[in-house]
Structure 1
Amino acid sequence: MITKFLINKEKLKFNEAQAFTEEIIKNLFKEINSTYIFLTYLKEAGNSIGLYYKYTSKENTYRRLTGGPEISFHEDYEYITILTSRVETLKKINDRAKNIAKCVSGIEPYAGISLSRDKKLLYGITKLGNVGLIEIITNNNNKDVNWCIEHLFENVIEEKINAKSSQEAVNSYLKDSWILYGNKNYELSSSSTNNGFFINLNAKIKDNYIEHILLTGNFYASPPMEPINAVLALEGTPINEVYFYGIKARFKKIEIEGLNRENVFYVLDDLYNKLINFENK
């Protein structure tokens, strides 16, 4: 199997790199058993947060397509995406991402990050249909990155490119509706952690109904938007255990990495109990 290694000639802004990754994803929906790797240097400093991560008002924040933690980056950091089109589990994609992270940094990643004295690497993963996506942000030596790609992937063919995307796609990653997710705090909350990964649920009630509910965290999931959509289904419902059972059933169909499914069930049960107690005060 050929691995197409696309190396961008010019530096890109973070959202420009995201938009080009989106173009590759669209192409991979039409291909089977293909692997693409895209690498570009970043033009500006900023802050990158995972898909479910709570926005915290930091300047030049970009929300990734994948889950995972937060990382600050500077000009000349590398943004790398590894995209595969094949039938495989999110766990297998996560194992691949951890192997790449360890190879590049020399350190076993913890909760999606590998840190040493002056080097850092973050990875995020998700899966869209049969397209697996790994996002990596790092300031590790480019020679280390290239060596790992050559040794971890088959039949690597390099190609220098000028990555171009539509302005509409580029701008979509700058919209407040995308970046500012999670920037609210509600009166009742529940959290659960697992080896550096976490999930948090916040809710607000009004007249014995769930008025607002918010899921945040640094875990990985596929389909990527399904954890958010599943929890949002509780908005507008009365505080009733039946509805929470329904959300658990939806989560059983979601692939999750970083957390155990028990972490998710715990925050749902715990939040439900807090809502009941608050309602009965």
Structure 2
Amino acid sequence: MLLVTITVETNLPQPTLHVLRAPRGFGEVLAAAESIIGATLKSRGFNILVSSWPHEGVTLGLYEPCNVEYPARRLTGGARIETTKDYAYILVANGSRDSSLREAVKLARDLLECMGFGVKGPMVTGGHVAYGVTSIEGVAIVEIIGDFDLSMAVKCMGARLDGSARSVKVSPELATSFESENWTCYRGVEGLPHVTVYGRDGFYARLGFELHDNFVSRAEIDGVFFAAPPMEPYSVLASIRGVQVDELALHTLVLALEKRLDVYGVDKSELAKAAASLAERLARESRT
């Protein structure tokens, strides 16, 4: 059982449980999750947030392209799920020890297995559930959304869902921003020349570029994978916009993707090589 693993083998402290009751929208849940992550980064504690997930429709992983109407989007990568308004949400933020992205993935897998589910790549088997994982400054972060028992999930983490749980205050402005199209409707590589790098069991990433006069005018990434910190894939690609594509720029791109990115599910070396090959091909075509 995960409870034994946590309390005996890894010696995690007793988690602090937080509850967001009756959220009016998924933006409130994500705003509460952001506040818990921020508090964990400061305290280096072990926090859990539980709530319902009040969204009728598709909930996308952080890097998935928006190709449906009125989606929600998680704070972490992974696969999409069709959700109803009575689905459950749990966020685990463990800052009591420095955790890599792979250790965060293990925490998610252990938790899901304790809850009675299986995990194959980005997919959860044995139920209608989706999960996402990241790590920020050594804090392991796990999101789980779906049709599951919150009491069981909390018990698996060594806590109890009772009257001792703390309520969470939510920033209305932050909640609104999570429900705006700027957050939910990222288009990814749509309409761009792109390459796809496949991982195992359903993981993949797509990189797309647009060149104008041999300068990078757009650089996008999408797919189903995990990354840490969560926004770093976007930051890396933003750093090459406006760069002229030459041998030095291609070398810099490969180094940036290999050194700055921490990804799980796809090989970042393959990702870097595919990106450089695509940029070189587009630059060659633009000169002819």
Structure 2 length-normalised TM: 0.86
State the shift of 1:193 in Å.
Answer: 0.5
Aligned residue among 166, 177, 183 for 2:182: 177
CA distance in 2, matches of 1:133, 1:14: 18
The one of 75, 81, 106 equivalent to 1:71 is 81
Count of aligned pairs: 272
Matches within 5 A, 1:76-155: 76-85=86-95, 86-107=97-118, 109-116=119-126, 119-140=127-148, 142=149, 145-151=150-156, 153-154=157-158
Structure 2 equivalent of residue 269 of structure 1: 276
Q: Conserved in 2, the CA contact under 8 Å of 1:56 and 1:183? A: no
CA distance in 2, matches of 1:184, 1:227: 13
**Contact conserved, 1:4 with 1:156, CA < 8 A, in 2?**
no
Q: Secondary structure at the match of 2:94?
A: strand
Instruction: Judge conservation of contact 2:134–2:229 (CA < 8 Å) in 1.
Output: yes
- Using the alignment, how far apart are the partners of 2:256 and 2:213 within structure 1? 26
Q: Aligned equivalents of 2:88 and 2:160: distance in 1? A: 19
197-206 vs 8-17, greater mean Cα deviation: 8-17
Instruction: Please list the CA deviations of residues 60-111 of structure 1 after superposition, one character each: whole Å capped at 9, or x if unmatched.
Output: x12221111211101111011011113111110011111222332432x223
Among 225, 231, 235, the alignment partner of 2:231 is 225
Does the CA contact (< 8 Å) of 1:42 and 1:75 recur in 2? yes
**Maintained 8 Å contact 2:79/2:224:** yes
| Structure 1 letter corresponding to 2:272 | F
- 2:267 is aligned with 1:260: yes
- When structure 1 is superposed on structure 2, of 243-252 and 179-188 the one drifting more is 179-188
Letter in 2 for 1:56: N
CA contact (8 A) 2:50 2:90 kept: yes
Is 1:53 matched up with 2:64?
A: yes
Answer yes or no: is the 8 Å Cα contact 1:192–1:266 preserved in 2. Answer: no
1:186 aligns to 2:191 (yes or no): yes
**What is the deviation of 1:209?**
1.8
Can you give the 5+ residue segments of structure 1 that lack an aligned partner in the other structure?
A: none
Give the match's secondary structure for 2:254.
Answer: helix
Cα 1:3–1:182 change in 2 (3 A) is same
Gaps of 5+ in 2: 1-12
Partner of 1:30: 42
Deviation at 1:157, TM superposition (A): 7.1
Segment drifting more, 19-28 vs 236-245: 236-245
Letter in 2 for 1:6: H
CA offset digits 1:119-174 (Å, max 9, x no partner): 3111111122233211101113x1xx5335424x3465743454430211111102
SS of 1:47's partner is strand
State how far apart, in whole Å, the 1-side matches of 2:93 and 2:83 are.
Answer: 22
Q: Are 2:25 and 1:13 aligned?
A: yes
Cα distance change, pair 106–226 in 1 and its aligned pair in 2 (3 A): closer
Give, in whole Å, the separation in 1 of the partners of 2:222 and 2:22: 34
Could you tell me how far apart the structure 2 residues matched to 1:10 and 1:185 are?
Answer: 36
Structure 1 residue 29: Cα displacement:
2.2
Q: In structure 1, how many angstroms separate the alpha carbons of the residues matched to 2:191 and 2:277?
A: 15
CA–CA separation in structure 2 for the residues paired with 1:192 and 1:115: 24
Counterpart Cα distance in 2 of 1:244 and 1:232: 15
1:169-213 Cα distance to aligned partner (Å, 9 max, x none): 111102222222225633421111101111111112222222212
- Quick one: structure 1 residues 155 and 211, their matched pair in 2 at CA, closer, same or farther if it must change by over 3 Å? closer
What SS is found at the alignment partner of 1:199?
Answer: strand
TM-score (norm 1): 0.88
Which piece of structure 1 moves more, 46-55 or 159-168? Answer: 159-168
